[in-house]
Structure 1
């Protein structure tokens, strides 16, 4: 039986959506194709017309997650600048819902073990985010991309630490400390007048 293109696209999108959530909540290695397909309301056989392998699904899910994060960052920066972006990223809601949050904070150790093609795609997506943030840094910031990389490292690390101790007062303190560290990194350095 043949299905129209719209139905095939809808099935593919559903697989991607479920996989992205499952990967971020349970991890890539712990997320089997049978579970993903069941959660998507599809049979295991319906997977292969859309993807050649789980590795393909992982790569496309990571790319999709980074694109969505880029749009969210763009909206946050346009609406409230760096402060809104920090508040959204290091919020209790983001901490408590890894399945819909930042793929980096949820998956970095596993992304590091993926094939070179997936890691390369991840690096491209990360640099898109870094360049977006770099444009919004104070005007006299030197090495804007370097500073933006530091901000992202602080944000991702803080979110990972806060999730590790979720449900404790320490978790909230880590979110606040991460935001303070990111703000400090984003401030332009005062140069010595004698230099």
Structure 2
């Protein structure tokens, strides 16, 4: 039996202190950072080392894991995925995934999302996943539609970056929808 954290091309794993350089490099890619949030002031290499060491030294929160998306063949970091806003009462959670730009459009992100959702639905008993995607992030919009998420709403002009306002699109998927589409 294979690990529940492994797919065909990626595996989700805890951060290691040595991941700092790759993750720091991804944080310098403006298009990657803008797709998920906003541009922040530069972080020093030393601060990036400390951040990775701190992340590696913490036990993962089972309801809000923060994991490295790594290549299955060589364990190289491709990006990060996390669950957040876990609401045990209502059984919902949100998540985010971000990969370095050279790893885009190769199936890594979709595989990582399916692995995380399988864990959250089958092991943590959540009933619905949500993802907020910037309306200008066409690749992420396409990914969520391809994975079978339903577009549930839109917050207009709720994100500012790169000198312009952007809408956020809410996608959702229930545990039943996931089971039907992804087994």
Q: What is the TM-score with the length of structure 2 in the denominator?
A: 0.35
More helix by share: 1
More strand by share: 2
Q: What is the TM-score with the length of structure 1 in the denominator?
A: 0.33
